[in-house]
Chain A
Amino acid sequence: MTAALAASLSSQGHSFLSPTGVEIVFVLVGLAVLGAAVLTVSTSQLVHAALWLVVALGGLAIEYLLLTAEFIAWVQVLIYLGSVVVLVLFGLMLTRAPIGRSPDADSGNRWVALGLAVVAAGTLVTLVVDAFRCTWMDLPASGSTSVNGSTQANGEVLFRYWVLPFEALSVLLLAALVGAIVLSRRHREEG
Chain B
Amino acid sequence: MTTALEALLRCVAVLVVFLTFPLVIGQTEHKVMAHMQGRLGPMYAGGFHGWAQLVADGVKFAQKEDIVPAGADRRIFQLAPAVALLPYLLVLIAIPVGPGGFVGQALDAGLFFVLAVMGIGVLGSLMAGWASANKFSLLGGVRSAAQLLAYELPMLLAAASVAMAAGTVSLTGILGAFHWWWVPWQIVGGFVFFTSGLAELQRPPFDMPVADSEIIFGAYTEYTGLRFALFLLSEYAGILVLCALTAVLFLGGWHGPLSADLGWLWTLLKTFALAFVVIWLRVTYPRLREDQLMRFAWTFLIPLALAQLALTGIVKVVIS
Report A123 CB to chain B, min CB distance, Å: 32
Q: Does B148 contact A (CB under 8 A)?
A: yes
Q: Does B177 contact A (CB under 8 A)?
A: no
In chain B, what residue has the closest Cβ to A154?
B109
Q: Does A70 contact B (CB under 8 A)?
A: yes
Partner of A81, one of B116, B130, B142, B170: B116
Partner of B123, one of A70, A85, A147: A85
Partner of A83, one of B113, B130, B152: B152
Which residues of B are found within 8 Å of A71, using beta-carbon distances?
108-109, 112
What are the interface flags for A129-147 relative to B under an 8 Å C-beta threshold, 1 for contact and 0 otherwise? 0000000000000000001
Task: Say yes or no: A77-B120 contact (C-beta < 8 A), given A90-B146, A93-B141.
Answer: yes
Q: Is the CB of B107 within 8 A of A86?
A: no
A41-76 residues at the B interface, CB under 8 angstroms: 47-48, 51, 54, 70-71, 74-75
Q: Is the CB of B123 within 8 A of A54?
A: yes
Main secondary structure of the interface of B (DSSP, over half): helix
Report B3 CB to chain A, min CB distance, Å: 12
B111-133 residues at the A interface, CB under 8 angstroms: 112-113, 115-117, 119-120, 122-123, 126-127, 129-131, 133
Q: Is the CB of A99 within 8 A of B109?
A: no
For chain A, the count of residues having a C-beta within 8 Å of the partner chain is 26
Q: Is the CB of A99 within 8 A of B71?
A: yes
Q: Does B76 contact A (CB under 8 A)?
A: yes
Q: Is the CB of B112 within 8 A of A86?
A: no
Which residues of B are found within 8 Å of A51, using beta-carbon distances?
76, 127
Report B84 CB to chain A, min CB distance, Å: 13
Q: Is the CB of A81 within 8 A of B123?
A: yes
Which residues of B are found within 8 Å of A74, using beta-carbon distances?
109, 112-113, 116
Report A80 CB to chain B, min CB distance, Å: 10
A100 to B73, CA, bound (A): 8
Q: Does B138 contact A (CB under 8 A)?
A: yes
Q: Is the CB of B130 within 8 A of A47?
A: yes
Q: Is the CB of A93 within 8 A of B116?
A: no
Q: Does B149 contact A (CB under 8 A)?
A: yes
A147 to B122, CA, bound (A): 32
Q: Is the CB of A82 within 8 A of B116?
A: yes
Which residues of A are found within 8 Å of B109, using beta-carbon distances?
70-71, 74, 150-151
Which residues of B are found within 8 Å of A94, using beta-carbon distances?
142
Q: Does A27 contact B (CB under 8 A)?
A: no
Q: Does B145 contact A (CB under 8 A)?
A: yes
Report B177 CB to chain A, min CB distance, Å: 14
Q: Does A171 contact B (CB under 8 A)?
A: no
Task: Say yes or no: A70-B107 contact (C-beta < 8 A), given A99-B131, A99-B133.
Answer: yes
What are the interface flags for A87-99 relative to B under an 8 Å C-beta threshold, 1 for contact and 0 otherwise? 1011001100101
Report B255 CB to chain A, min CB distance, Å: 23
Report B37 CB to chain A, min CB distance, Å: 35
Task: Say yes or no: A93-B149 contact (C-beta < 8 A), given A81-B120, A83-B119.
Answer: no
Q: Does A105 contact B (CB under 8 A)?
A: no
Q: Does B169 contact A (CB under 8 A)?
A: yes
Report B26 CB to chain A, min CB distance, Å: 26
Q: Is the CB of A81 within 8 A of B119?
A: yes
Q: Does B33 contact A (CB under 8 A)?
A: no
Q: Is the CB of B145 within 8 A of A90?
A: yes
In chain A, what residue has the closest Cβ to B173?
A151
Partner of A151, one of B108, B129, B141, B146: B108
Which residues of A are found within 8 Å of B71, using beta-carbon distances?
99
List 20 A-B residue pairs with CB atoms under 8 Å apart, sorted by A's residue number: A48-B76, A54-B123, A71-B109, A74-B113, A74-B116, A77-B120, A78-B112, A81-B116, A82-B116, A82-B120, A86-B122, A86-B123, A89-B126, A89-B130, A90-B149, A99-B72, A99-B73, A99-B133, A147-B108, A151-B170
> Which 8 pairs show the lowest CB-CB distances between chains A and B?
A82-B119, A78-B116, A74-B112, A77-B116, A90-B145, A74-B116, A71-B109, A151-B109
Binding site for B on A (CB under 8 A): 47-48, 51, 54, 70-71, 74-75, 77-78, 81-83, 85-87, 89-90, 93-94, 97, 99-100, 147, 150-151
Instruction: Please name 5 further chain A to chain B contacts, defined as beta carbons within 8 Å, in addition to the given A86-B119, A90-B145, sorted by A numbering.
Output: A47-B76, A47-B130, A70-B107, A89-B126, A147-B108
